[in-house]
Amino acid sequence: MISGGDVKAVQGTTGHATADMLVNTYAHIQQSSRVELGRKFEEGFYAKQENPSPQAVNAAGEPTISMTALLELLKNADPEVKAQLRLALLT
């Protein structure tokens, strides 16, 4: 999973009965990548923009992250963080 393998493929290879069992068994070894992903999201969310777009502030006046900025963060994430995100989205 750390190398970006598909959860179902890793489940079959390791012999776990379900993907859920695999994820729950090994979630503790992924803690550092979850912390790093959270840090990157926060940095992008609260990043100062030189010329903020109209979508950069919602109706309540709270800052938001644009889809473009979120995609850029995800594109530049290290492979371990990408694997963790895929895992989180699949479970």
Residue 25 lies inside a defined structural domain of this protein:
no
Residue 59 lies inside a defined structural domain of this protein:
yes
Residue 9 lies inside a defined structural domain of this protein:
no
Residue 62 lies inside a defined structural domain of this protein:
yes
Residues 26 and 22: their CA atoms lie apart, in Å, by 6
Residue 49 lies inside a defined structural domain of this protein:
yes
pTM value > 0.95: no
Residue 24 lies inside a defined structural domain of this protein:
no
Q: Nearest-CA neighbor of 10 among 83, 82, 74?
A: 83
Question: What is the structure's pLDDT at 2?
Answer: 60
Domain that holds residue 67: 31-90
User: 49 or 16, which is more confident?
Assistant: 16
Token pair for 90 = 């699949």
Residue 11 lies inside a defined structural domain of this protein:
no
Token pair for 20 = 């859920």
- Residue-wise pLDDT for 42-68, tens only, equals 888 777 656 555 455 556 666 677 778
User: 2 or 36, which is more confident?
Assistant: 36
Domain count, the chain: 1
Residue with tokens 């992008």: 44
Residue 26 lies inside a defined structural domain of this protein:
no
The stretches of the chain forming alpha helices (DSSP H) are 7-14, 19-26, 31-45, 67-76, 79-90
The answer to whether residue 4 scores a pLDDT higher than 70 is no
